[in-house]
Amino acid sequence: MPSNGEWVIETRGLTKRFRGGRLAVDRLDLTVESGSVFGFLGPNGSGKTTTIRMLMGLVEPTAGTARVLGRPMPASVRQVMPEVGALIEGPALYGFLTGRENLVRYDAADPAAEPRTRPARVAAALDRVGLGAVAGKKARAYSLGMKQRLALAAALLRPRRLLVLDEPTNGLDPQGMREIRTLIRGLAAEGTTVFLSSHLLDEIEQVCTQAAVMAGGRLLVQAPVAQLSAGVRGRLTVTTPDPARAVRTLRRHGVADLQVAEEKVTGEPPGNRPGEQPVDLADLNAALVEDGVRVRAFGLERPSLEDAFLALTGEGFDVAG
Ligand SMILES: Nc1ncnc2c1ncn2[C@@H]1O[C@H](COP(=O)(O)OP(=O)(O)O)[C@@H](O)[C@H]1O
Ligand SMILES: [Mg+2]
């Protein structure tokens, strides 16, 4: 565990209750290590954006504290924000300006940005996100993915210690999503800490090293992504020409949530949920053979973050969005 000084983000009991009594974030304790690609995962309405807005000093917490780059927020917003690149809920871009002109505007709004080196800074940021070739086109002609990359370029005009990206792939097609993910990996490889919110499990699984899972304003768990899914066993998969018989045998031996798709029977072996006694898979296989079930293949599928989430909450997750 790093000492407090190495935490890029640290919240203690962070809470936001909106007028009208809605509890959007409920006593959140979060710690983000320097150098991590941190996934902030939760379904829509779970409090991700509200948390990020509190971290960025845009919303006053109702209770609790937030520290970013070791300094209290929102009190230190002036000192902290120059080192933080943030992309929150859709980019604010002018459609009638070109991509390059949009960035020049952003750069000019930064009092610390040296005007003489502006064109070089803007060109470098455009290249960084792969928009160099279309920099002279009006932003309204950009695809959503290109607009999102342009907003990311604005966040990259100066070196940042921390990048906070709120659902940066929201609304993008698979190609646009891939582009953003590649960019994030590249930035992380250079040592920038990335805090990435998403309601998509596979996105977090693909790019993040650490994750926190939110539901209903509360933190369910925070752990390395590998550890989240390692604590869970995958689904049992049996390939057999006798699926009905296999289901009967497996059910008798405590396999839950059995599903059949042609010759493939899948289910959750006992021991997947907390408090359950795990079963020896060799015994399950033997039981199938004993009952005359012909088995072509038998094994556990690799557990995913989704399995981990199910095991944690016993609930589904809006994987598709
Ligand atoms: N300005 C606001 N006023 C009142 N309620 C809000 C406001 N912003 C968000 N909420 C509510 O707070 C909850 C969390 O929202 P949000 O932080 O946007 O979640 P997420 O980003 O995970 O989708 C939701 O129930 C939402 O309706
Ligand atoms: Mg949100």
User: What pLDDT does 161 receive?
Assistant: 92
Q: Report the atom number in ligand 1 closest to the C-alpha of 53.
A: 17
Helix axes 281-290, 243-252, angle to 10 degrees: 130
Pair type for strands 236-239 and 297-300: antiparallel
Q: How far is ligand 1, taken at its centre, from the CA of residue 198, in Å?
A: 14
Burial class (CB in 10 A: 0-12, 13-18, 19+), 195: buried
Whether 18 lines ligand 1, by a CB cut-off of 6 Å, is yes
User: What pLDDT does 1 receive?
Assistant: 43
User: What pLDDT does 319 receive?
Assistant: 41
Give nearest CA residue, ligand 1 atom 6.
Answer: 18
Q: Please give the helix or strand (H or E) that residue 188 lies within, else none.
A: helix 174-189
User: What pLDDT does 197 receive?
Assistant: 95
3-state DSSP assignment of residue 55: helix
Q: Report the atom number in ligand 1 closest to the C-alpha of 16.
A: 12
Mean per-residue pLDDT pooled into runs of 10, the chain (321 residues): 69 95 94 94 92 94 97 93 85 89 93 93 93 95 90 90 92 85 90 92 87 91 80 81 96 93 90 68 92 93 68 54 35
Residue 71: how many CB atoms within 10 A of its CB? Answer: 14
Contact 72, 9 (CB under 8 A): no
User: What pLDDT does 275 receive?
Assistant: 65
Whether 42 lines ligand 1, by a CB cut-off of 6 Å, is yes
Whether 47 lines ligand 1, by a CB cut-off of 6 Å, is yes
At a CB cut-off of 8 Å and minimum separation 6, what does 111 contact?
A: none
User: What pLDDT does 144 receive?
Assistant: 85
Residues with CB under 5 A from ligand 2 (ion): 48-49
Does the global pTM surpass 0.75? yes
